[in-house]
């Protein structure tokens, strides 16, 4: 970083607590909600944290032999981890370095190997660089890595303001692990990216580390579109 006075915010989410979500008066569905731990470190560099993330290309064999998600056993795929490091560069551009790893359990889960990253291209407000993507398989007890051909990465125009980076992982089959990383840049000072812990498939670990200038005001806003009921033994109460 190029600034001495920083506020570092680290947010980690793991699926550990269980809630009941009320869609309507007639049925309820289980939802595993994240426990969120926030550490605010003033005037400091990022501290190392023990979470289930790994460098790009380094993987444990246990992830390759994993048969199902232990907290949602019928899932077709799951996010092993999703990591985002957000900071300002020397030109006050906002940088988001994203690294995501997904496990494919069966043929139905292969659709999650189709990736679409949307961003705002109006006046080059946002742009994406440094994309790397690869499929990792276990073949005859050996780790096999198949990198995506850059010719198979396409940019689609969504409308006059937005574009999307689109690609599909090669050689994906049940048991595959896919991962990708990229750098998102915004030249608008107020365009600080949001962070979504939950997805359509279960997520084991989500981590977002944000380095802000010390004159920023940091606040937490929780938004829910559905009524939640917390189950705590004999007592049910809305949250």
**Which of 11-20, 71-80, 164-173, 201-210 comes out lowest in average pLDDT?**
11-20
Could you tell me the residue range of the domain that residue 16 belongs to?
Answer: 6-238
Mean pLDDT over the full length of the chain: 77
Among 6, 24, 13, 112, which Cα is nearest to 53's?
13
93 part of a folded domain: yes
45 part of a folded domain: yes
Token digits of residue 163: 């574009």
Residue 110 pLDDT: 97
Residue 52 pLDDT: 74
Token digits of residue 107: 């043929």
| Mean pLDDT, residues 212-236 taken together | 59
Specify the long-range contacts of residues 23-26, CB closer than 8 Å, at least 24 apart: 23/226
171 pLDDT higher than 80 = yes
Among 109, 112, 110, which Cα is nearest to 100's?
112
- 199 sits in the region (left: phi over 0; alpha: psi -120 to 50; else beta) called beta
Q: How far is the C-alpha of 209 from the C-alpha of 84, rounded, in Å?
A: 6
| pLDDT tens column, 54-95 | 999 899 999 999 999 999 999 999 999 999 999 999 888 999
Residue 220 pLDDT: 61
- Rg of the Cα trace of the chain? 20
Which residues, 6 or more positions from 170, have their beta carbon under 8 angstroms from its beta carbon? 135, 146, 148, 149, 152
Strands (E), the chain: 6-24, 27-42, 77-88, 94-104, 114-120, 126-139, 142-147, 154-157, 162-168, 177-186, 205-213, 227-232, 235-238
210 part of a folded domain: yes
Which residues, 6 or more positions from 175, have their beta carbon under 8 angstroms from its beta carbon? 64, 65, 104, 105, 137, 138
190 part of a folded domain: yes
108 part of a folded domain: yes
37 part of a folded domain: yes
Number of domains comprising the chain: 1
The model's pTM: 0.73
40 part of a folded domain: yes
Write the CATH number for 142.
2.60.40
User: Is the Cα torsion angle 184, 54, 100, 15 positive or negative in sign?
Assistant: negative
1 part of a folded domain: no
Q: How far is the C-alpha of 178 from the C-alpha of 42, rounded, in Å?
A: 35
Residue 221 pLDDT: 63
């Amino acid at each position: 970083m190029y600034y001495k006075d920083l506020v570092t915010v680290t947010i980690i989410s793991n699926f550990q607590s269980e809630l009941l979500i009320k869609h309507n008066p007639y049925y309820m569905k289980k939802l595993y909600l994240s426990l969120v731990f926030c550490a605010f470190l003033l005037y400091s560099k990022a501290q190392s944290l023990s979470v289930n993330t790994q460098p790009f290309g380094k993987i444990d064999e246990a992830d390759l032999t994993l048969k199902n998600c232990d907290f949602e056993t019928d899932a077709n795929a799951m996010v092993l981890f999703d990591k985002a490091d957000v900071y300002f560069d020397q030109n006050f551009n906002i940088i988001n370095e994203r690294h995501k790893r997904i496990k494919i359990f069966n043929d139905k889960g292969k659709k999650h190997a189709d990736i679409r990253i949307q961003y705002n291209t109006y006046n080059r407000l946002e742009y994406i660089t440094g994309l790397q993507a690869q499929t990792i398989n276990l073949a005859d007890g050996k780790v096999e890595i198949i990198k995506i051909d850059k010719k198979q990465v396409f940019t689609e125009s969504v409308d006059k303001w937005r574009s999307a980076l689109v690609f599909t992982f090669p050689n994906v089959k049940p048991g595959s692990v896919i991962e990708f990383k990229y750098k998102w840049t915004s030249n608008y000072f107020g365009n600080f990216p949001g962070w979504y812990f939950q997805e359509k498939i279960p997520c084991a670990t989500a981590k977002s580390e944000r380095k802000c200038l010390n004159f920023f005001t940091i606040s937490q806003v929780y938004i829910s579109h559905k009524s939640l009921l917390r189950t705590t033994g004999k007592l049910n109460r809305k949250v």
